[in-house]
Amino acid sequence: MTAAVDDSAATTRAPGVRARMGKWFTAAVNGIPGPVIIAVLMLDAVIALILEVLYLPLYIGAVALPITALLAGPVNLALVWAVATVNTRLSVLFLPVGAWLAAFLIAASRGPGGDYPLRSDLPTLLLFLCGAVVPLVYMFMVANQSKHPAQKK
């Protein structure tokens, strides 16, 4: 007894080698409910902030190097972009940034031992500006882009 195999799907290629990453991400998470993906991305934002706060006072020799502050912008932008592949409403796009900001406020407040994980200094300000402003500017641009571009005359 032999089984028939349909090879027509195996011989067709994906449309274009230069497929956008958004299509790959959407295909990879196909079948997982959107709210689960958004919740995981919000958790990723909190974990990213924890790592950024831990490595913020990094020194190389005697020079302070707040590299995690500079990485906070692209990381949060990637989280917002990943949420945009699931849902494009601005209130939903803000969820990972909101989770990051809530964790930032918790890290800036006094801990149980009276210590502050985030100090009042320039690297903390740089972390806040890069981590919050970059994704918010992206969301502003998404909100204000025209759905129907003006036709040229």
Between CA 61 and CA 98 the distance in angstroms is 35
- When pLDDT is cut at 50, 70 and 90, the band that residue 18 belongs to is very low
Residue 32 has pLDDT above 60, yes or no: yes
pLDDT of 27: 61
pLDDT of 13: 45
Length of the chain equals 153
Region 81-104: mean pLDDT is 93
What ranges do the domains of the chain cover? 33-144
pLDDT of 41: 95
pLDDT of 29: 60
* pTM reported for the whole predicted model: 0.75
- When pLDDT is cut at 50, 70 and 90, the band that residue 16 belongs to is very low
Q: What is the pLDDT of residues 45-92, one digit of tens each?
A: 999 999 999 999 888 888 888 899 999 999 999 999 999 988 889 999
To 5 degrees, how large is the angle CA 97–CA 76–CA 91?
35
Q: What is the pLDDT of residues 115-133, one digit of tens each?
A: 888 888 899 999 999 999 9
DSSP 13: P
Between CA 145 and CA 58 the distance in angstroms is 39
CA 49 to chain centre: 11
- When pLDDT is cut at 50, 70 and 90, the band that residue 25 belongs to is low
User: Which of 9-23, 91-105, 124-138 comes out lowest in average pLDDT?
Assistant: 9-23
